[in-house]
Amino acid sequence: MPPSDYYDNYPYSSVILANSLQIAVYAIGAYILYLVGTSWVFLYLIYIILLEIRLLRISCVNCYYYGKRCFSGKGRLCSILFKKGQPKKFIKKKLSWKDIVPDLFVSLIPLLTGLVLLIKRFDWILLGLLVVLFFLTSVGNSFVRGSLACKHCKQRKLGCPAEKLFAKKNKSAAS
């Protein structure tokens, strides 16, 4: 990849698209849980906030994009909230599928809840929301990661455990 294809600051369009997708996933998830009860929405939103803080504190502080406009805009946000960490920690971090499970729950919890509700009482709107949520989580996320984020990421060039983990998965799927 020519060096110019790596971004120092991502275009605003990437930030808007990546965040729109994320917010859509959160909003659909929250709505599905609202069908079970408002306290579940509250717990779900707390869970999301904790995950976001965890990401900023564990990864973003050590990332190349700390203080810069990364694809999600969190590099800038992180520099406002937390002190800069050590970039070598980002590269050295060992990541396994186990570490990603908490993030998967953001979609899995509402998807499973929605399925149970559908079995109890069929509803076309709920079915539509489940399909959209599944689509955004699978196709949408891999588009953002593949075409917007990782493709132009300087941290990837320096070393990224998440990218290595996904590359391993793609290799094993191809073989």
Which residues of the shown chain bind ligand SF4 in the complex (CB under 6 A)?
Answer: 63, 71, 149-150, 153, 155-156, 160, 162-163
Closest to ligand SF4 by CB, 79 or 117: 79
**Nearest one of 166, 146, 149, 158 to 96, comparing CA atoms:** 166
Q: How far is the CB of 79 from ligand SF4 (least distance, A)?
A: 15
CB nearer to ligand SF4: pick between 13 and 38: 13
Nearer to ligand SF4, 107 or 155 (CB): 155
**Least distance between ligand SF4 and beta carbon 139 (Å):** 17
Q: Rounded to the nearest whole angstrom, what is the least distance from the CB of residue 58 to ligand SF4 in the complex?
A: 12
The smaller minimum CB distance to ligand SF4, of residues 112 and 164, is found at 164
Residue that is written with structure tokens 């489940």 in the block = 130
Structure tokens at 23: 């917010």
- What minimum distance in Å lies between the beta carbon of 80 and ligand SF4? 19
Three-class DSSP category at 66: coil
List the beta bridge partners of residue 7: 153
- The helix/strand/coil state of 9 is coil
8-state DSSP, 150: G
What is the C-alpha separation between 133 and 168, in angstroms, rounded? 26
Q: Taking the complex as a whole, how short is the minimal distance between the CB of residue 145 and ligand SF4, in angstroms?
A: 6
Helix, strand, or coil (residue 138): helix
The answer to whether the beta carbons of residues 85 and 67 sit under 8 Å apart is no
Nearer to ligand SF4 (CB atom), residue 69 or residue 156? 156
